[in-house]
Structure 1
């Protein structure tokens, strides 16, 4: 399901923490609190710079053009995510931060 950044923010602000199969192609979640969120088979081309990703879970998610500069990543689970056809590991995410 494709969402605009504004629709995605509305869901986050309403307290939704679990997302499966969503696609958000453009926008910024800079400094957003995404702690405890679960993302399964999503697709993001977003700016997550300085976002709080504490205890979030990312599984099978496509992260093309995603930016994670100085994001908080404590206790994050990062499994089977990818950039185009390259499988990403937690060490790849840490390089992006």
Structure 2
């Protein structure tokens, strides 16, 4: 179990570095589409957390599943609100 945990931690840290490098190379004009794609991927985490909550055999598993659903939902809603604000910056002044 310990070796598997180290492997998971290694993959997580590697994903952090790769994600940071990818995001810093994206020009500012592409940040809005990138955020929209990230919000769509975050929607998948809601589905996964719902599945985990439903499959929980104990109170703690169900509780952590519920917390995962709540946090993923807040992430998606907040992401779409920020994306909407960014898109409004590109609109005409009459629409504001």
**What range describes the TM-score normalised by the shorter chain of this pair?**
under 0.3
Instruction: Looking at secondary structure, tell me which structure has more helix per residue.
Output: 2
Instruction: Looking at secondary structure, tell me which structure has more strand per residue.
Output: 1
- Greater relative contact order structure (CA < 8 Å, 6+ sep): 2
TM-score (norm 1): 0.26
Q: Which has the larger radius of gyration?
A: 2
TM-score (norm 2): 0.26
